[in-house]
Structure 1
Amino acid sequence: MLLAPLLLAPLLLGACSQEGDFGRPAPSAWNRLIDTTGTLAARERGTPASVYPLTDDEAVLRDRAWRFLMPADSRAAFEDALANLTRARVLPPRWRRDAIPAYHGDLISEAFRSPYSRYRRLSDDAVADGRLVPPFAAVAGRVLEADGVRLRALPFSKSLDDWDVRQAAMRVAENRCLVAWVRLETSLRIARYRYALEHFLIEMPGREAAPAEQAVAFLEGRRGLLDPLLPPDAAARCGLVEAPEVLAAPIVAKPVVTKY
């Protein structure tokens, strides 16, 4: 387990990931290094990491996941870099805290002249997320459908060996876990936005709360598009959350004396 720390050190010494249009990772040598390192680190941890090239839809899926896997609040540069390394799988997803109050704390700690700007920022963020959910769900659906074709073709491909089968299975798991991760993070964003809105109503009540509530409800409605893509327990299966404990059925003792 010495590979990850050695690879992580130079990445932390560099700047945050270079952003392109719409906050997505720019096609640069630095970002390719981060993604490659993430694949190696994920493989070392036993996380599915296939060496197969990405299809066009798989590449788009990863680009569209970018916004949801980065923090909604504007953190310090070092924490933002850690968040990007988590997004790239250099660090495991579960090291990050949910930190539901963080978004509210970020907004309220900034200097502002009017509470309207805080409500407006919350509304803009929630609506922007909501608008990005349908295109992500659409490309995720195509990727998962293609994965189904991939799996159905395996038994009929006589030239494949165990290595090929393993790489295909890992890519399918990769794709599914990425979708599960985005679905989880979208739910956490909704929780952060609602936490901020509830606290704003107490700290600085005003008419601006109504549009903010509508914006959060808009995101909640769009988030439902992600539910049919995967089973409800996908996040637990991918190790993104703790698996719920399964309670064993109580053992019912048989009566010592049976009446006939």
Structure 2
Amino acid sequence: MLLTTAVMLAGCSGGDFGRTREDFRNDDMHRWLGAEATGSVGLRASQFQLTDYERQLRDQAYPVIEPPHSRPAWKAVFGDYQAIASPWRHKVVFDRTAYGRALIDEPHRSDASRYSQLIDDVRDDITRFEPFYATAARVLELDRKRNASMAHVSQLSPRERADAVARMDENTLIVQWVQQCQERRISSYRWALERLVVQGPDNIAAEADRLINELAALAANPPVTTQPVNGVAISTRG
């Protein structure tokens, strides 16, 4: 039963809070993100190999796309890595209460430890923000150059053009996917903090609130912009 429970994982919209086990890692372990993003909106995936920056973009995207974590330490010993449905495919309404309910319901030594877990999760998201967008900026800039260069490539085959376009679509949708999940995580963190304050008031709540506001300010002004792909634009609504 424990193994079965540990391997369950949902998307950024909620569900079981899974974490990646290191022995599942390989260079292209997150390649599926691009195929899932494009496939969910009716587009094909690129057959091109990933560039170093594209691989890094997917590796940095996964911890944000994965649901925020709140669970006893014993669950972390089980392998529970699974692919996650993109927000454009996933039809379940976003449940902003899932993270907070897990945080409150699971055993903790004290109310302070619940606040500490929340603070750690928000701080982790803040720490991930700049590296992800630095990589995203590089990838999207190289995609602009790729798009411009196709007009000058001799004997570019239809298949090569299609794969190039598909890869650019993948990269753009992954950035939009992360932006959606960032907004949803912030909403989940706010709900959790509000309930913690009601159930176990503590002065440490002010630090949690400060960090959530800091993360929200970052997410509200992302350093890169993307264009809609196949009619898909960023939406934070569940």
TM over 0.5: yes
Over 3 Å counting, the alpha-carbon distance change for 1:235 and 1:172 in structure 2 is closer
Aligned residues between the structures = 217
Distance in 1 between the 2:39 and 2:139 partners?
21
Whether 1:168 aligns to 2:164 is yes
Whether 1:27 aligns to 2:26 is yes
Counterpart among 156, 175, 180 of residue 176 in structure 2: 180
Residue by residue, what CA displacement relative to the aligned partner does 1:119-152 show, whole Å, maximum 9, x if unpaired? Answer: 1111111011011100000000000000000000
1:1-260 correspondence runs (5 A): 19-20=21-22, 26-27=25-26, 32=29, 35=31, 39=35, 43=39, 46-74=42-70, 84-86=82-84, 93-226=89-222, 228-231=224-227, 234=228, 237-238=231-232, 241=235
Distance in 1 between the 2:223 and 2:22 partners?
29
1:8 match: none
Structure 1 position 236, deviation (Å): 8.9
The normalised TM-score by structure 1 is 0.71
Over 3 Å counting, the alpha-carbon distance change for 1:225 and 1:64 in structure 2 is farther
CA contact (8 A) 1:127 1:218 kept: no
Residue by residue, what CA displacement relative to the aligned partner does 1:85-127 show, whole Å, maximum 9, x if unpaired? Answer: 226x6x9642454210001000000112311111111111101
- Note the residue ranges of structure 2 that are not aligned, 5 or more in a row: 1-6, 9-17
Structure 1 position 20, deviation (Å): 2.8
Which protein is bigger by CA-based radius of gyration?
1
Over 3 Å counting, the alpha-carbon distance change for 1:38 and 1:176 in structure 2 is closer
Q: What is the RMSD of the two structures over their aligned residues, measured on CA atoms?
A: 3.5
1:247 match: none
Structure 1 position 46, deviation (Å): 2.6
Structure 1 position 205, deviation (Å): 1.5
2:13 match: none
Q: Which amino acid aligns with 1:237?
A: G
Structure 1 position 238, deviation (Å): 3.1
CA contact (8 A) 1:190 1:220 kept: yes
Distance in 2 between the 1:206 and 1:40 partners?
42
Q: Which amino acid aligns with 1:71?
A: P
1:251 match: none
Q: Secondary structure at the match of 1:85?
A: coil
Distance in 1 between the 2:39 and 2:138 partners?
25
1:6 match: none
Distance in 2 between the 1:122 and 1:102 partners?
13
| Larger RCO of the pair (alpha carbons < 8 Å, separation 6+) | 2
Distance in 2 between the 1:40 and 1:178 partners?
9
Distance in 2 between the 1:223 and 1:235 partners?
21
Residue by residue, what CA displacement relative to the aligned partner does 1:134-185 show, whole Å, maximum 9, x if unpaired? Answer: 0000000000000000000111112102111111111000000000000110
Higher helix content, 1 or 2: 1
Over 3 Å counting, the alpha-carbon distance change for 1:219 and 1:48 in structure 2 is farther
2:4 match: none
Residue by residue, what CA displacement relative to the aligned partner does 1:182-208 show, whole Å, maximum 9, x if unpaired? Answer: 011001000000111111121212211
